[in-house]
Amino acid sequence: MAFASIGPITDLHIVNSPISPDGFLRDAVVAEGTFPGPIIKGKKGRDSPVSIASHADQYHANSLTFFSAFNSTLINGLGRSVNGTKSPLAVVSVMHGKRYRFRLLNMACDPNYNFTIDGHSMTIIEADGVSVKPYVVDSIQIYASQRYSFVLNANQTTSNYWIRAVPNSGAQVFDGGINSAILRYAGAANAEPKTPSTPSVRPMLETNLHPLEAKPAPGAAEPGAVDIQLELNVTLTDDQTRFAINGATFMPPPVPVLLQLLSGAKQAAKIVPSGSIYKLPRGKTVELNIPGGVVGGGHPIHVHGHNFAVVRSAGSDVVNYETPVWRDTFNMGSTASDNATIRFVTDNTGPWFLHCHIDWHLQGGFAVVLAEDIPNVRTVDQPTQAWKDFCPAYNRSQSNQH
């Protein structure tokens, strides 16, 4: 949070933005980049002109009238919608004969994308911040919150080429530049590409991603050969409106889990939300199995506080304990035969969120907290005096505005 005052004459910029004032991500209206917004100072009887600029995103309907239908794909902030105006597209400029590192991020609320660049291959060198052995592909399926780096060799004829990102839902077409951006070689015409879309022959497979520096999965090289084995079964609630993990729907607690632990709570059964807290001792090897098949998949599962080894990927029955990819977000799969499996070591004291990174699913309770090394949380995360003073200061600021 930040606090500021403005006035008497100013421009006030208001945007919708995700914030986490209490450790839980939510959408809010943010003024001048702060929440709560700045105090507007003025004197009695005087006018205080304030110019307001409001910035919206790419959902064309009011939030109360739709659930999860997006209107367009944006690449570097630009894109077009079906039956929409021919707005500008993002242009990525390259010079013939040079190599470029691209960082690819899926910042979407929901869809996963199949990413391609016409006429070019991509050499993946990193996944979720972890370097991997160079892996040449011609398409990358990327789920919400996942990141990849790839090297592109600008060795094709000087021209314009379509960059394509087809979503798994919505308009899965490229007509009129939908779901697209432009790769433009220096010297090419300032025009939209005419390159055709071709089928992928070397799609990225997560099972072919291996760490640049060898790092085997923790535990022994056989199923369940770890200190702690957990299975997280995801289902819909009886009314089909929310998700549950092992029968419990995550509900944001009135007091954040970290604050509960700092206040002395030690037993998982006494920490809220009940049923969504998993107590993990320090220094243990952990294996998490998450079967697929629940509606709305594939679900991108993100774990805070850890990189982990993906020993079995969705869509595969191959188990890899020797050279698994290490990352922080994985697809749990969309079929009942999927059983994505990850491993990590409990070496990071604190409560760590595990959740689906599709915003609507997180809002629907698709999450748990991995409470790691509970007895030592108060020792490791000692609050500073400034932290202790924060809530009283915030309360005073709210009182002063009334």
Residue pair 280/228 in contact by the 8 Å Cβ criterion? yes
- The domain locations on the chain are 5-56, 91-204, 228-380
Residue pair 185/159 in contact by the 8 Å Cβ criterion? yes
Please provide the DSSP assignment of 332-356 as one string: --SSTT-EEEEEEE--S-EEEEEEE
| DSSP β-bridge partners for residue 325 | 310
Higher model confidence: residue 279 or residue 22? 279
Q: To which H or E segment does residue 391 belong? A: helix 385-400
Query: What is the reported pLDDT for 6?
Result: 43
Contacts of 28 (CB under 8 A, 6+ apart): 16, 17, 18, 19, 35
Residue range 262-276: mean pLDDT, rounded: 85
How far apart, in whole angstroms, are the C-alpha atoms of residue 370 and residue 90? 40
How far apart, in whole angstroms, are the C-alpha atoms of residue 221 and residue 226? 9
Task: Locate the DSSP E strands across 3-98.
Answer: 5-6, 10-19, 26-31, 39-40, 50-55, 91-94
List C-alpha distances in Å: 103 to 124, 142, 207, 333. Answer: 10, 12, 20, 24
Amino acid at 192: E
Residue range 17-42: mean pLDDT, rounded: 58
Query: What is the reported pLDDT for 65?
Result: 43
Nearest to 183 by CA among 153, 200, 159, 165: 159
How far apart, in whole angstroms, are the C-alpha atoms of residue 82 and residue 57? 16
Superfamily the domain 91-204 falls into: Cupredoxins -  blue copper proteins (2.60.40.420)
Choose the CATH number for 5-56 among 3.20.20.70, 3.40.50.300, 2.60.40.420, 2.40.50.100: 2.60.40.420
pLDDT band with cut points at 50, 70 and 90 for residue 30:
low
Rg of the chain, C-alpha, whole Å: 24
Residue range 266-294: mean pLDDT, rounded: 92
Superfamily the domain 228-380 falls into: Cupredoxins -  blue copper proteins (2.60.40.420)
- pLDDT tens digit string along 59-117? 555 544 445 567 778 899 998 887 777 889 999 999 999 999 999 999 988 899 999 99
Residue range 383-400: mean pLDDT, rounded: 81
The alpha carbon dihedral of 228, 234, 235, 240 has a sign of positive
Query: What is the reported pLDDT for 148?
Result: 96
Query: What is the reported pLDDT for 3?
Result: 34
Residue range 113-132: mean pLDDT, rounded: 97
Report whether pLDDT(254) > 80.
Answer: yes
Token digits for 396? 């005073």
Token digits for 340? 């994505």
| DSSP β-bridge partners for residue 303 | 354
Residue range 395-399: mean pLDDT, rounded: 80
- pLDDT tens digit string along 286-329? 999 999 989 888 899 999 999 999 999 999 999 999 999 999 99
pLDDT band with cut points at 50, 70 and 90 for residue 12:
low
Residue appearing with tokens 């505005």? 401
How far apart, in whole angstroms, are the C-alpha atoms of residue 40 and residue 21? 21
How far apart, in whole angstroms, are the C-alpha atoms of residue 5 and residue 38? 5
Q: What is the pTM of this model?
A: 0.80
Between strands 339-345 and 5-6, the pairing is unpaired
Domain 5-56 matches domain 228-380 at the CATH topology level: yes
pLDDT band with cut points at 50, 70 and 90 for residue 54:
very low
**Average per-residue pLDDT in the chain?**
85
Token digits for 190? 């300032």
Residue range 277-286: mean pLDDT, rounded: 98
Residue appearing with tokens 């072919």? 208
Phi, psi of 54 (to 5 degrees): -105, 135
| DSSP β-bridge partners for residue 13 | 53
Residue pair 376/127 in contact by the 8 Å Cβ criterion? no
Report whether pLDDT(155) > 70.
Answer: yes
H helices, E strands: number in the chain: 4, 26
Name, of 153-157, 332-336, 383-387, the range with top average pLDDT: 153-157
- pLDDT tens digit string along 338-363? 999 999 999 999 999 999 999 989 99
- pLDDT tens digit string along 193-211? 999 999 999 999 999 999 9
Taking CA 248 as the corner, what is the angle to CA 21 and CA 63, rounded to the nearest 5 degrees? 50
Higher model confidence: residue 169 or residue 153? 153
